[in-house]
Structure formats: C-alpha cells, structure tokens
Amino acid sequence: MSNSWLDEFKRAGAVWLHDGTAQRPHALLTSGLHSDGFVNCTYVTQRPALVSRLLRDAQGLAPKLPKTKIDWVIGSAFGAITFAHAVAERLEARAGFTEKDGDAMALKRFELAPGETILVVEDVISTGGSTLKTLEGIRQAGAGKVTVLPQILCLVNRSGRADLDGHAITPLLELKINTWDAAACPLCKLGSQAVRPKTHWKELVGS
C-alpha cells in the first residue's frame, strides 16, 4: 500500500524528483544540503479529508498510532502544525507546536503539566535536525516531568535513519532521495542551480 499512498502524494502535487537535466534547478534544504528530490507535504496537509483517511486507513497510519493515552501531540512550526492537529483529533489529545527561538526550537505557546505524555510528529524528516530540536524544546518545557513517547510519527521519512535520539521513526512513506554537501553536489557540477523548494515549487515541478 506504500506505493498507493505515494501515488496519492503525487496526485496531490506533493512530490518532485529531479530529471537529471542541467537546466533544471534542484533543492536546497534547510540544513544546507542539496538534493535531487523534495516532498512538499503542504499539498497533503492542506487536504483534511486526505489526512483523515491516511490516519484511519488500516493500510495507512492507523495501526501505527499509539495505543496508550496521549495528552499532547506536538509538531514543529510550520510544516507539522496541521498534521499535529489532525493526529491529536484522532487520538482525542491536545495539539501544540514548537517554533524557532534563535537556533533552537521552543514550546512557547503551550504549557505542559507534570506526568503528561507527548507524541512528537513531523511532516517530512530529511536530516532530522528540526525534529531533534523539537524534542529538546519539549524536554526544556517539561523540565523532566513529562514523558515523550519513544516514537516519532511522520508522513515521510527520507532521512535513511530508523530513529532519532532513541525515538523510532514511524512513517507513512519511506523514500530514498539523494542529498549531498554543497561542495560535492553533482547537479551543481552540471550547472543546475540550487533553490529553496517551497518558494520555488512551480519552477521545480515545471508548472
């Protein structure tokens, strides 16, 4: 069923892969790495019916949801805000998000109570950097008195990693998309320009 969900993402216009043409731009990730593909989950999360279906489908994320009581579902701003809200609704929990605080991610708008249990979610995990900062932001806010589940629920894992800081990555889709340091990027060597994908999405997908 993974291929079927991938087809759903493609139909939503959320998946772009470089075709190898030097004249076509490629992706510059938030981490500074360059990539020959990108998944723009905004085109998925802006469709509540699609997100609801993948959370309820037995071939989707439904069997991967926690079976224990969850107090909070927390994602990172901005990409995972609506996904966190949808998961929280499904689990009858509260929804929150971390946001940038200098180089860190902080839980600024929400107050965690001692003993509460938190599920961390993401839309796409590329390098895992933002998610690790979100985990640290929750730890700081909870002052060691809350429990963060040992899993991270996400729509797409393209990191090639199975876990982050001991938290198992639990994705709907596992995708292999190449990333390179800027100095070693083969697409740059062909003359392709690196651009931020979300602000150049139409240019990347050719529409």
* Predicted confidence (pLDDT) at residue 33 exceeds the cutoff of 50: yes
Please say if the pLDDT value at position 196 is more than 90: yes
Over range 67-81, report the average pLDDT: 96
Reported as a single tens digit per residue, the pLDDT across 100-114 is 999 999 999 999 999
Across residues 128-154, what is the average pLDDT? 94
- For residue 183, pLDDT beyond 80: yes
Domain that holds residue 15: 2-205
Average pLDDT over residues 17-43: 94
Average pLDDT rounded to a whole number, residues 45-64: 97
- For residue 207, pLDDT beyond 70: no
Q: What is the pLDDT of residues 8-19, one digit of tens each?
A: 999 999 999 999
pLDDT band per the 50, 70, 90 thresholds, residue 142: confident
CA atoms 195, 198, 203, 204: torsion sign: positive
CA distances, 105 to each of 7, 91, 189 (Å): 33, 24, 34
The answer on pLDDT for 3 being more than 90 is: no
Q: What is the average pLDDT across 73-98?
A: 97
CATH code for position 94? 3.40.50.2020
- The gap from C-alpha 89 to its chain's centroid, in whole angstroms, comes to 18
| Number of domains making up the chain | 1
Has residue 21 got a pLDDT over 80? yes
pLDDT score recorded for residue 60: 97
For the chain, what percentages of helix, strand and coil (3-state, to nearest 5) are there? 30, 30, 40
**Mean pLDDT rounded to a whole number for the chain:** 95
In angstroms, rounded to a whole number, what is the distance separating the alpha carbons of residues 115 and 113? 6
Backbone phi and psi for residue 30, each to the nearest 5 degrees, phi listed first: -60, -30
Residue 143 predicted with pLDDT over 90 = no
Q: What is the pLDDT of residue 2?
A: 58
In this predicted structure, the answer to whether residue 1 has a pLDDT above a threshold of 50 is no
Residue 71 in this model has a pLDDT that exceeds 50:
yes
